[in-house]
Amino acid sequence: MHGGWTEVGSRAVAVQHSWLTALLVVVASLPCRADEQAELLVPNWVEDAVFYQVFPERFANGDPTNDPRRDTLESDVPESWQISPWTGDWYARAEWERELGPDFFEHGVFHRRYGGDLQGVIDRLDYLQDLGVTALYLNPVFEARSLHKYDGNSFHHVDRHFGPDPAGDLALMAEETADPATWKWTAADKLFLELLREAHARGLRVVIDGVFNHTGRDFFAFADVRRLGRTSPYANWYTIHAEDDPVTPENEFRYQCWWGIDTLPEFADTPDGKDLGSGPKDYIMAITRRWMDPDGDGDPADGIDGWRLDVAREVPTAFWRDWHSLVQRLNPEAYTVAEEWDEASGFLNAADFDATMNYFGFSFPVKGFLIDGTLPASKAVAAFEERLAAHPRSRRYAMLNLIDGHDTDRVASMIVNAARRPYEQPNRYDFDIAVSPRHHADYDLRQPNARERRIQRMVAVMQQTFVGAPMIYYGTETGMWGADDPCDRMPMVWPGMRFESQQADPRGRAREPQPVAFDQSLFAFYRALIELRRRHASLRRGEVEFLPTDDAAEFLAYARTLDDERLLVGFNRGGAEHAWQVPTPAGAKVEQLVTASGDVGKVRIVPHGDTATVSLPPLEAVVLRVTRAE
């Protein structure tokens, strides 16, 4: 899911080569319990990782000299167009935006550019290291016209406006063909390799976004098809429905595109639909080698550490199996994670992915229980248990546990708007038509209050203590809020910057000013949680045991255990104090490690016999360590 468009569907793709293979694939696609599955060779480092998602165009502008120009945008904009101010009021419209149409900010917001680039990411690596994250997921960095870069014009070059010499890079690219032997290393490419070096020197892994289902219209192969039609040597890379008739004034050129969006032509599959077409497949294999082992010496240390694959189900699984075979040969420690919103165990097995973005197994029940407060604790636990059991152990610990991202409203705004979006069923986690002022006037744009921030802290506690690798969306730790696309892609709020208050309204209504600033307290809380996860291996590699729930009290708890270490995590989502009875056999001691409120004094622990009563105030989460008596 990406760009200014909504919801990705799933398209089942047959991968059988015979009736027997077909039967095996069907069986493999069925969910099964972990004890019925063979363990996987998932990269060991992922269990210990804390990921941080970076949307490069909106993260930091480290080099204003490379900012995009008007003629690089994907559509015409007024002559008065210019780079948008990083610290401006998000909903205020520039004069050039007002020239585009009615007084609704949507008519200009998708044409905005803020100048974020790779130098900005490099400049902020120390900030990320201080936060404590250990892996970066970069939204697409490849050459493209859009702000989101999911409409790639090349997968073998970094976007020239992310590097120091856009004009020089464009000239270099003009000399190339589809033959990898002709590919150059542009200034932007070299800066990306420098980013990898700098990140690796700080112990940070780097995972990049791969979009192997479709391209942009300026992608070199599609541009040639537009010019030459079916006579182009790349004609079989795409599915052409109709060629343009040069005699008529209309353009009759029609082609298969992703979800009917004509800026995103789809790569063609083989005629039987079982694999990606040979031309695109060979190209993707080549760019995979390029970014995983840039100098081609057989040592992947200078390359990326993994891939996040966009709309993965819409690419045949036979391709994914061959691609994963190459990835494993290049770097056995590389991590591959698929974008998939629904139950995915069968697909992951068939396509050989290490994991998925864990919407189904983590985000859905977390939102229902903690954010919306409408999913009973017992049902949340049942969902967690069932969805964990669908995967072998190695995959459970590698799942990417996110709450918000570039395809959702921000977690702070999810909480503000929880009452207007009750948790009904898993596929109601995120619908653009329901989570944005673009479509709903009653979507509340205000900043969270103290109660809502407390819930965000509870969500953060669960994210950092649950099974799987947590991923923070840029700015969540600084207090950023916002609706779904485009409002989830505001410029990063950095300490030391003075931002204009949000006072304008996307629908032209009166609105109270909302101050925007870096939230040092919230940042410190996220940093402390990440450090807690780092210090306690049981939170990263330990077994999980769900403890008795109390639906009436809205209480949920689980234990994380590894060797002699046992940590208990409890959540009181209710409006009254809850007395949690914690067993303390043989005189064991219970101590607090962290609370959502940040005040351990608010949680009282009273030992009596072989139990201890832990009194949790309303909207409180606590992490406890149970230690044996000396």
**Residues 150-180 as b or e (16 or more Cβ within 10 Å = b):** bbbbbbbbbbbbbbbbbeebeebbeebebee
Instruction: Give the strand pairing for 555-562 and 565-572.
Output: antiparallel
CA–CA distances in Å: residue 208 to residues 142, 173, 291, 440: 10, 21, 10, 33
The residues near 623 (Cβ < 8 Å, ≥ 6 apart) are 461, 465, 532, 567, 568, 569, 592, 593, 594, 595
Domains of the chain, start order: 46-212+271-529 (3.20.20.80), 220-260 (no CATH), 542-627 (2.60.40.1180)
Q: Sheet harboring 469-473: ordered strands across?
A: 355-356, 335-338, 306-309, 205-210, 135-138, 51-54, 469-473, 400-401
CA–CA distances in Å: residue 503 to residues 89, 392, 499, 607: 7, 49, 12, 51
Across-strand partners of 626? 590
Residue 45 CA to residue 281 CA, distance in Å, equals: 29
Q: What is the pLDDT of residues 472-483, one digit of tens each?
A: 999 999 999 999
Q: What is the DSSP letter of 140?
A: P
Residue 152 CA to residue 54 CA, distance in Å, equals: 18
Q: What is the pLDDT of residues 127-146, one digit of tens each?
A: 999 999 999 999 999 999 99
- Any idea which residue has 């409006």 for tokens? 575
The residues near 618 (Cβ < 8 Å, ≥ 6 apart) are 572, 574, 575, 576, 577
pLDDT confidence bin for 367, thresholds 50/70/90 = very high
**Alpha-carbon torsion 445, 450, 452, 456, what sign?**
positive
Q: What's the whole-number mean pLDDT along residues 436-452?
A: 91
The 10 Å Cβ neighbour count of residue 358 is 27
Helix or strand or coil: residue 376? coil
pLDDT confidence bin for 629, thresholds 50/70/90 = low
H or E stretch including 470?
strand 469-473
Q: What is the pLDDT of residues 55-110, one digit of tens each?
A: 999 999 999 999 999 999 877 899 999 999 999 999 999 999 999 887 667 778 99
Q: What's the whole-number mean pLDDT along residues 448-459?
A: 98
Which two three-digit tokens encode residue 214? 């479709």
The answer to whether the CB of 569 falls within 8 A of the CB of 621 is yes
Which two three-digit tokens encode residue 438? 């673009």
pLDDT of amino acid 432: 54
Helix or strand or coil: residue 275? coil
Across-strand partners of 559? 545, 568
Residue 102 CA to residue 84 CA, distance in Å, equals: 19
Residue 423 CA to residue 393 CA, distance in Å, equals: 28
Q: What is the pLDDT of residues 191-227, one digit of tens each?
A: 999 999 999 999 999 999 999 999 999 999 999 999 9
pLDDT of amino acid 428: 57
Phi, psi angles (nearest 5°) of residue 451: -60, -45
Residue 170 CA to residue 160 CA, distance in Å, equals: 7
Q: Hey, what amino acid is at 143? A: E
Instruction: Say how many CA atoms lie within 13 Å of 557 toward its Cβ.
Output: 24
Q: What's the whole-number mean pLDDT along residues 255-273?
A: 95
The 10 Å Cβ neighbour count of residue 363 is 25
Helix or strand or coil: residue 147? coil
On average, the pLDDT of the chain sits at 90
Pick 525 or 426 by higher pLDDT: 525
Distant-in-sequence contacts of 88-94, Cβ < 8 A, 24+ apart:
88/499, 88/500, 89/500, 89/501, 89/502, 89/503, 89/504, 90/482, 90/487, 90/490, 90/502, 90/504, 91/445, 91/502, 91/503, 91/504, 91/505, 91/506, 92/500, 92/503, 92/504, 93/504
Using the predicted structure, report yes or no on whether residue 434 has a pLDDT greater than 80.
no
- Percentage of the chain beyond pLDDT 90 is 81
By the 10 Å C-beta count (0-12 exposed, 13-18 middle, 19+ buried), 535 is classed as exposed
- Any idea which residue has 């541009």 for tokens? 223
Query: What 3 state SS string does 199-211 have?
Result: HHHCCCEEEEEEC
Phi, psi angles (nearest 5°) of residue 474: -50, 130
Residue 422 CA to residue 89 CA, distance in Å, equals: 30
Q: Please spell the DSSP secondary structure of 577-609, one letter per residue.
A: -EEEEEE-GGG-EEEEEEETTS-GGGSEEEEET
pLDDT confidence bin for 588, thresholds 50/70/90 = confident
Residue 159 CA to residue 143 CA, distance in Å, equals: 4
pLDDT of amino acid 1: 46
Residue 163 CA to residue 157 CA, distance in Å, equals: 11
Distant-in-sequence contacts of 123-126, Cβ < 8 A, 24+ apart:
123/60, 123/62, 124/59, 124/60, 125/198, 125/199, 125/202, 125/204, 126/202
Q: Which of 490, 495, 471 is nearest to 480 (CA)?
A: 490
Helix or strand or coil: residue 620? strand
Residue 123 CA to residue 464 CA, distance in Å, equals: 26
pLDDT confidence bin for 609, thresholds 50/70/90 = confident
Helix or strand or coil: residue 249? coil
pLDDT confidence bin for 551, thresholds 50/70/90 = very high
Q: What is the pLDDT of residues 14-56, one digit of tens each?
A: 222 222 233 333 333 344 434 445 567 899 999 999 999 999 9
pLDDT confidence bin for 630, thresholds 50/70/90 = low
Using the predicted structure, report yes or no on whether residue 385 has a pLDDT greater than 90.
yes
Using the predicted structure, report yes or no on whether residue 170 has a pLDDT greater than 70.
yes
The residues near 616 (Cβ < 8 Å, ≥ 6 apart) are 555, 570, 572, 577, 578, 579, 580, 603, 622
Residue 129 CA to residue 527 CA, distance in Å, equals: 10
Q: What's the whole-number mean pLDDT along residues 566-579?
A: 97
Which two three-digit tokens encode residue 218? 């300026």
H or E stretch including 481?
none
pLDDT of amino acid 433: 60
The residues near 102 (Cβ < 8 Å, ≥ 6 apart) are none
CA 227 to chain centre: 36
Q: What's the whole-number mean pLDDT along residues 360-372?
A: 95
Residue 70 CA to residue 76 CA, distance in Å, equals: 8
Lowest mean pLDDT among 24-28, 248-252, 362-366: 24-28
pLDDT of amino acid 176: 92
pLDDT of amino acid 11: 23
The answer to whether the CB of 175 falls within 8 A of the CB of 184 is yes
Residue 52 CA to residue 207 CA, distance in Å, equals: 10
pLDDT of amino acid 297: 97
